[in-house]
């Protein structure tokens, strides 16, 4: 296998492990009503890159391997509940963002969105249930209940909740809702250049960057990383989150070119501020590459190896 | 002071303490965007009975006093973050339940509901932020980080998440959404008698009972209650939750008589299954009184005193 094939194999194995754990952890009837169980499964098990939970596992692995180089690389089961919690929160955010009162998206990953299938009420409730379930998964009794492990789990819950809430992801979505409205009025589908640059960065840092950062950080925390190591992981994922978002924006433009035969995607139509709109595609691509390199540098400084560097390259080179 | 006045004083003191703690814990700009901070405050600090967080504090008090009779009754600060978490979750559930796609309520506690003031998108996000914040509050670092305390906090998080999620409150709201639709078609605004009885009980146990139960249980857990004591608190709050819901249903009918001069309230208009619709008002009142007595019996068996018994009486006698 080439390095690329080997990394693709790693991603597939991790996705399968994560999806198995997600499915096994979901509430089922008669513990809960059938309709909410269906709606949660529908969105959670619809596929996807699983970038965030893979980051959690990879960060835990990276810390474990540095601390104990002889350690078997094939699993970091102690971080799996945290990986699941991150994906549960990501999925809930997609369901709520897709609602008619927000982005009004009818299709995600090639399937009708939750509110199209179940109606707005049940879609909102499925999101609520997934978000709540994330914290249940993280707090469930474990076989190993040592004091350091208990303290790490609480620290992980606090970090994840902080990243997902008003100061992080939810706050970013609020800014996005505000900005889309404003920019539609002001700029006719294009960000106003004087305010676009900083506002755009804040929206992305909160809406996407905070959860990506927490995903990696809680993996490291649960593996027992000390504060300087968590700080290095935070630096890594700040750059990674930026790279991810820039590429997301570029794919929205270029995906539209390929699929729809026009030069603007749904972000531009919706008047969303994006990197290509503010910087142009070529400059955006350079910014993404620089961000991934900065992410790798942060790892190198903390002597962290493993998959995290490959993940940074993947985030920039991905086609979807 | 009479006993009633003394109890009213207790409730006022507790409400003030809880509201002070809720407000102090909220995220504020620049940590989060101003709009989401405003929307969270608007619904959270709109008043209300604060029954659930008072239950949390009272349950902790009750366990503390039984275990250490000389203990000062004036505060159970170690349960305050849990009390706040319970009220945060209750408030988020009200915001989401009031949305146009759910119960479509425009007024709550005499003020326009969140979606009327902020729009559906920001109302949904404010609910999401309050729910997320609940778990952050429970997981935040504390001065006392002893292993038993860490373990209790994780147990409290798991219990609260279980009660709030698909198997509890969210599941109950899903059943309510389903039942309201079904019953509107089947019974023209009145529950079908053959299926109404059991279905009604399940809806209420999940939608209202689960969070009331968790509110009391996590107070006891954080005070270090053993399993039989938590089981007694659970029995107490199962009966209390039933009494609470029956009275809620009665007040919806009788409040309408007084305020609107008609014999059916909004539940009946919406085709919601209610106790008065299934059992009639007189029988419903008797059921509520019996439930409160059963709640008191559960306390007596576990030798638990304090405010919990008075709270059971308050729930039945309340006029709002």
Q: Tell me the three-class secondary structure of chain B, residue by residue.
A: CCHHHHHHHHHHHHHHHHHHHHHHHCCCCCCCCHHHHHHHHHHHCCCCCCHHHHHHHHHHHHHHHHHCCCCCCCCCHHHHHHHHHHHHHHHHHHHHHCCCCCCCCCEECCEECHHHHHHHHHHHHHHHHHHHHHHHHHHCCCCCCCHHHHHHHHHHHHHHHHHHCCCCHHHHHHHHHHHHHHHHHHHCCCCCHHHHHHHHHHHHHHHHHHHHHHHHHHHHHHCCCCHHHHHHHHHHHHHHHHHHHHHHHHHHHHHHHHHHCCCCCHHHHCCCCCHHHHHCHHHHHHHHHHHHHHHHHHHHHCCCCCCHHHHHHHHHHCCC
Mind listing the pLDDT tens digit for each residue in B90-130? 999 999 999 999 999 999 888 999 999 999 999 999 999 99
Examine the pLDDT at A68 and tell me if it is beyond 90.
no
Q: What is the CATH number of the domain that holds A20?
A: 1.10.600.10
Least confident of A205-214, A305-314, B269-278: B269-278
Q: List the Cα angle A194/A199/A205 in 5-degree steps.
A: 150
Q: Using CB atoms, which residue from A102, A131, A147 is nearest to B147?
A: A147
Write down the pLDDT at residue B191.
45
Rounded to an integer, the average pLDDT of A58-82 is 81
Question: Is A299 an 8 Å CB contact of chain B?
Answer: no
Q: Which residue has the higher pLDDT, B272 or B186?
A: B272
Banded pLDDT at B198 (limits 50, 70, 90): confident
Examine the pLDDT at B279 and tell me if it is beyond 50.
yes
Is B102 close to A96, i.e. CB distance below 8 A?
Answer: no
- Tally of structural domains, chain A: 1
Least confident of A78-82, B180-184, B216-220, B231-235: B180-184
Write down the pLDDT at residue B261.
38
Is B125 close to A33, i.e. CB distance below 8 A?
Answer: no
Write down the pLDDT at residue A184.
35
Percent of chain B with pLDDT over 90: 71
Question: Is A119 an 8 Å CB contact of chain B?
Answer: yes
Mind listing the pLDDT tens digit for each residue in A173-220? 999 998 876 433 333 444 444 446 788 889 989 999 999 999 999 999
CA atoms within 13 A on the CB side of B280: 3
Write down the pLDDT at residue A114.
97
Examine the pLDDT at A122 and tell me if it is beyond 50.
yes
CA-based nearest distance B139→chain A, Å: 5
Q: Is B102 exposed, middle or buried (0-12, 13-18, 19+ CB in 10 A)?
A: buried
Write down the pLDDT at residue A71.
67
Write down the pLDDT at residue A265.
64
Write down the pLDDT at residue A156.
98
Range of the domain at A232: 3-317
Q: Using CB atoms, which residue from A40, A138, A170 is nearest to B166?
A: A40
Percent of chain A with pLDDT over 70: 87
Rounded to an integer, the average pLDDT of B231-256 is 90
Distances from the Cα of A263 to the Cα of A101, A154, A255, A268, A317, angstroms: 26, 47, 9, 9, 21
Which residues in chain B are contacts of A161 at CB distance < 8 A? 132-133, 135-136, 139
Q: What are all long-range contacts of A41-49, with beta carbons under 8 Å and residues at least 24 apart?
A: A42/A114, A42/A117, A42/A118, A42/A126, A43/A91, A43/A94, A43/A95, A43/A114, A43/A126, A43/A130, A44/A87, A44/A88, A44/A91, A44/A130, A45/A19, A46/A108, A46/A109, A46/A111, A47/A109, A48/A109, A49/A318, A49/A320
Distances from the Cα of B27 to the Cα of A57, A90, B36, B39, angstroms: 29, 21, 9, 11
Question: Is B218 an 8 Å CB contact of chain A?
Answer: no
Question: What's the CA gap between A219 and A298, in Å, rounded?
Answer: 16
Examine the pLDDT at A260 and tell me if it is beyond 50.
no
Write down the pLDDT at residue B201.
86
Question: Is A38 an 8 Å CB contact of chain B?
Answer: no
Q: Residues A138, A81: contact at Cβ < 8 Å? A: yes
Write down the pLDDT at residue A269.
65
Write down the pLDDT at residue B77.
63
Torsion A270-B113-B43-A133 (CA) sign: negative
Mind listing the pLDDT tens digit for each residue in A263-296? 446 666 666 678 888 889 999 999 999 999 999 9
Question: Is A13 an 8 Å CB contact of chain B?
Answer: no
Q: List the Cα angle A278/A279/A282 in 5-degree steps.
A: 145
Q: Which residue has the higher pLDDT, A264 or A309?
A: A309
Which residues in chain B are contacts of A147 at CB distance < 8 A? 147, 150
Write down the pLDDT at residue A164.
98
Banded pLDDT at B260 (limits 50, 70, 90): very low
Q: Using CB atoms, which residue from B36, B101, B141 is nearest to A174?
A: B36
Which residues in chain A are contacts of B99 at CB distance < 8 A? 120-121, 124
Substitution target in A90, A126, A136, A172 with the highest count of B β-carbons within 10 Å is A136
């Amino acid at each position: 296998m080439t390095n690329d094939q080997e990394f693709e194999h790693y991603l597939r194995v991790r996705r399968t492990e994560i999806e198995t754990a997600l499915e096994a952890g979901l509430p089922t009837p008669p513990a809960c009503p059938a309709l909410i169980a269906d709606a949660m499964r529908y969105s959670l098990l619809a596929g996807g890159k699983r970038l965030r939970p893979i980051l959690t596992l990879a960060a835990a692995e990276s810390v474990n391997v540095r601390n104990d180089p002889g350690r078997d690389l094939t699993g970091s089961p102690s971080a799996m509940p945290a990986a699941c919690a991150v994906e549960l929160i990501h999925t809930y955010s997609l369901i709520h963002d897709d609602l008619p009162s927000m982005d009004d998206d009818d299709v995600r990953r090639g399937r009708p969105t939750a509110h199209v299938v179940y109606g707005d009420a049940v879609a909102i409730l499925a999101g609520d249930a997934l978000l709540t379930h994330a914290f249940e998964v993280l707090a469930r009794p474990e076989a190993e209940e040592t004091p350091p492990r208990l303290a790490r789990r609480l620290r992980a819950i606090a970090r994840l909740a902080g990243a997902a809430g008003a100061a992080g992801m939810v706050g970013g979505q609020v800014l996005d809702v505000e900005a889309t409205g404003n920019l539609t009025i002001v700029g006719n589908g294009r960000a106003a250049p004087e305010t676009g640059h900083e506002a755009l960065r804040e929206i992305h840092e909160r809406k996407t960057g905070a959860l990506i950062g927490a995903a990696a950080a809680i993996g490291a925390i649960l593996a027992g990383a000390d504060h300087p190591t968590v700080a290095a992981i935070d630096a890594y994922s700040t750059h990674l989150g930026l790279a991810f978002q820039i590429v997301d924006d570029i794919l929205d433009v270029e995906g539209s070119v390929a699929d729809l035969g026009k030069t603007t995607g749904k972000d531009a139509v919706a008047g969303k501020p994006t990197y290509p709109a503010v910087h142009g595609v070529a400059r955006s691509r350079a910014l993404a590459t620089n961000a991934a390199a900065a992410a790798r540098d942060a790892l190198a400084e903390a002597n962290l190896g493993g998959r995290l560097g490959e993940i940074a390259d993947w985030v920039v080179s991905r086609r979807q």
